[in-house]
Amino acid sequence: MPRTSLPPQLGDRFVVADAIAAEVSPARLRASDLDAPFHGVRVRGDAATPDAVAFDSFGRPRGEHEIEHLMRALAYGARSSEFEFASHITAAILWGWPLPLRLVSGRAIDIAVAEPRRLPRSRGVRGHQVVGKVSVVREPRTGLLVSDPATTWAMLGRILADPYDLIAAGDAAVRTWRVAEPQTTIQALETATRRGRRVGIGQLRAALPRIRTRSASRPETYCRLTLVDAGLPEPELNFEVFEGNVRLGAVDLAYPAHRVAIEYEGEHHLLDPAQWDYDIKRYERLAAAGWIVVRVTKTELFGSPREFVRRVREAIRSRA
């Protein structure tokens, strides 16, 4: 016997009360083609992944664990009250910031309320009660209520143990390179850090002076910080290289005075034939113009950074 069609106005995610009001039977709500991620919520099993979930605000495809996390956040949004909002790690994923995989995989969604309201309690939800003033906005692509970027970054001081990761999240929040406008500003991050009681205030204060507006990825942030902490000068970020009036291309990091460029080779460079072809020709143009290109992979940057530093130092020394 074919299943009764659900009223289209319910959408892909809906609360049980709305379905019953639309005369959907309790038996239909227990059917196997509906998932029940939270009490009182149903999600169609064939629900499509919205582009706002599949791609972040910078246009990059999200990983499977981030997508799964945000799909649960959307489902919870069907039943959340006007006083509840995504926060902490869930908010950071919504804003498209880079995070360690271990903090995303299998994590309950972070949902917060401002005091004195009682924190949310539900299976699959990590509830928070925020003390003091908090700024909440509606994330434009998903429509979910979420802590604003500056507040979200200040919340991460207690979670991101590695200072490089905290700085990488801040870099993404204030990024100005190749975006219509930054999500927030360094000044706003400073203001949010001072607002209310902050667990991890020491980490936040240490990270603030190291945040930059032209870093485009977590690996670029790691490259910069690794070099600086090894005693090398701070490189220029996403530097546009010209030979006369001819643009040779942009490089991830650069020491222009020495004509040394550093390029991070992510997996997408190898998987996208057009990108790989463009990169090869760009490296040839840079070499012809007298630039040394130091290419670094994920394995070297995160596994043997000393070798990465040595190669950059040798390249600079060769031009001294």
Cα 87 to Cα 156: distance, rounded to the nearest angstrom: 10
Give the CATH fold of the 218-317 domain: Endonuclease; Chain A (3.40.960)
Q: What is the pLDDT of residue 268?
A: 62
Q: Strand 292-297 vs strand 260-265: parallel, antiparallel, or unpaired?
A: parallel
Q: What is the pLDDT of residue 80?
A: 94
Q: Which of these, 81, 78, 75, 91, lies nearest to 146 by C-alpha position?
A: 91
Cα 295 to Cα 219: distance, rounded to the nearest angstrom: 12
Cβ(146)–Cβ(91) below 8 Å: yes
Task: Please state, as a whole number, how many other Cβ atoms lie within 10 Å of the Cβ of residue 21.
Answer: 11
Which ranges of 26-162 does DSSP label H, i.e. alpha helix?
26-29, 51-54, 64-77, 88-94, 149-155
Q: What is the pLDDT of residue 244?
A: 86
Question: What pTM was estimated for this model as a whole?
Answer: 0.93
Q: What is the pLDDT of residue 39?
A: 94
Tell me which amino acid residue 171 is. Answer: D
Q: What is the pLDDT of residue 320?
A: 76
Cα 176 to Cα 187: distance, rounded to the nearest angstrom: 14
Q: For each of the chain's 320 residues, which pLDDT tens digit applies?
A: 567 899 999 999 999 999 999 999 999 999 999 999 999 999 999 999 999 999 999 999 999 999 999 999 999 999 999 999 999 999 999 999 999 999 999 999 999 999 889 989 899 999 999 987 789 999 999 999 999 999 999 999 999 999 999 999 999 999 999 999 999 999 999 999 988 677 889 999 999 999 999 999 999 999 999 999 999 999 999 999 998 888 998 999 999 999 999 999 876 656 667 777 778 888 899 999 999 999 999 999 999 999 999 999 999 999 87
Q: H or E element: which one contains 43?
A: strand 41-44
Question: DSSP string of 22-39?
Answer: TT--HHHHTSTTEE-SST
Q: What is the number of alpha carbons within 13 Å of residue 45 lying toward its C-beta? A: 7
Cα 209 to Cα 303: distance, rounded to the nearest angstrom: 26
Residue spans of the domains in the chain: they are 8-44, 82-210, 218-317
Cα 51 to Cα 59: distance, rounded to the nearest angstrom: 10
